[in-house]
Amino acid sequence: MTNTLRWQNLKVLLASTKREFENLQSQLQSDLKQLGDQVLGMSNAALGYHKVMKENRALHNMVQDLKGNIRVYCRIRPAFDAEAKTIVDFIGEDGSLVVIDPLKPWKDGRKIFEFNRVFGSSATQEDVFRDTKPLVRSVMDGYNVCIFAYGQTGSGKTYTMSGPGGDSTKEFGINQLALNDLFLLSDERKDIMSYKIHVQMVEIYNEQIRDLLADDPLLTKYPFIVIFP
Ligand SMILES: Nc1ncnc2c1ncn2[C@@H]1O[C@H](COP(=O)(O)OP(=O)(O)OP(=O)(O)O)[C@@H](O)[C@H]1O
């Protein structure tokens, strides 16, 4: 092969390599643009998602406000054999409760009460929690929520709040069900929010504060003063 021919071949090869290079370059540019568009689309979608989530949360909390900031529920525990002096006469869907004292079957033996809702003796822990859950969830959006059980001794406060004990998750009380739900929500929102959940359990009994999560409840010193009214 003559030198001229070799030179011609080299020029053809160089031209085709240059063409290939240019093709590759333009392909790469178009791929990069596509990728950029996709990233932009994804970040717009994420922004839209955050916006929708925020709106949902705002609506949720608005509904809770409209339902009333203070709600009073009544739970009737199953009667023990020895009792049953007072008989539940009627439980209304609207939260009304009528009880009759069988020892006074006449008019003043009948008492009418109004609550936000009444749970009959067959209500499960889950039934009671269902109504409390939306309020508990508001905690995750910065609202303060307080749930407390009030009633005479043996009326079922511990049963409702902590459950009867044992390992059955079906009988978990409001405390455990609420914590489970908070952890679930925190997990669901982990991509957009980071939560820290602290738990403290104290009991005030005979004017003494006990830390129920400490090894020695009475040794714990509290950095606050409780003023009993
Ligand atoms: N909804 C319920 N279903 C079945 N058993 C219940 C229910 N509520 C309460 N009990 C039972 O009634 C008894 C008294 O309930 P509990 O100990 O919860 O009352 P309490 O209000 O916490 O009493 P105290 O103020 O004396 O601590 C317990 O044996 C409990 O298991």
Which tens digit of pLDDT belongs to each residue from 123-171? 999 999 998 898 888 888 888 889 999 999 999 999 999 999 877 788 8
Average pLDDT over residues 201-222: 80
- Together in a domain, 51 and 31: yes
- Together in a domain, 135 and 191: yes
Between 51 and 115, where is the model more confident?
115
pLDDT beyond 60 at 69: yes
Q: Give 159 Cα–ligand 1 centroid separation in angstroms.
A: 5
pLDDT tens column, 164-189:
987 778 889 999 999 999 999 999 98
- Backbone region of residue 221 per phi and psi (left: phi > 0; alpha: psi in -120 to 50; beta: other values): beta
Query: Per the annotation, does 68 bind a ligand?
Result: no
Return the DSSP state at 139: G
Q: What is the count of structural domains for the chain?
A: 4
- Together in a domain, 96 and 109: yes
Report ipTM for this prediction. 0.98
pLDDT tens column, 85-115:
668 889 999 999 999 887 776 777 889 999 9
User: What residues flank ligand 1, with Cβ below 6 Å?
Assistant: 77-78, 151, 153-159, 164
pLDDT beyond 70 at 225: no
- Together in a domain, 10 and 75: no
Query: Per the annotation, does 158 bind a ligand?
Result: yes
- Together in a domain, 105 and 147: no
Task: Please report the atom of ligand 1 found closest to the CA of residue 155.
Answer: 21
- Together in a domain, 205 and 174: no
- Together in a domain, 3 and 20: yes
Residue 202 banded pLDDT, cuts 50, 70, 90: confident
- Residue 75: partners with Cβ closer than 8 Å, 6 or more residues away: 118, 119, 123, 128, 156, 160
Q: In the prediction, which pLDDT does 43 show?
A: 72
Q: Give 154 Cα–ligand 1 centroid separation in angstroms.
A: 5
Between 155 and 52, where is the model more confident?
155
Query: Per the annotation, does 154 bind a ligand?
Result: yes
Between 60 and 91, where is the model more confident?
91
Q: Give 35 Cα–ligand 1 centroid separation in angstroms.
A: 62
Please answer whether residues 120 and 76 qualify as being in contact, where contact means their C-beta atoms are separated by less than 8 angstroms.
Answer: yes
pLDDT beyond 70 at 221: no
pLDDT exceeding 90 applies to what percent of the chain?
Answer: 30
Boundary residue ending a domain (80, 105, 120): 120
What does pLDDT average to over the chain?
Answer: 84
Containing domain of residue 152, as a range? 124-197
pLDDT exceeding 70 applies to what percent of the chain?
Answer: 92
- Together in a domain, 187 and 223: no
- Together in a domain, 205 and 179: no
Average pLDDT over residues 64-82: 84
Please answer whether residues 73 and 116 qualify as being in contact, where contact means their C-beta atoms are separated by less than 8 angstroms.
Answer: yes
pLDDT beyond 80 at 217: no
- Together in a domain, 32 and 86: no
- Together in a domain, 32 and 76: no
- Together in a domain, 183 and 135: yes
Q: In the prediction, which pLDDT does 72 show?
A: 94
Long-range contacts of 149-155 (CB under 8 A, 24+ apart): 155/77
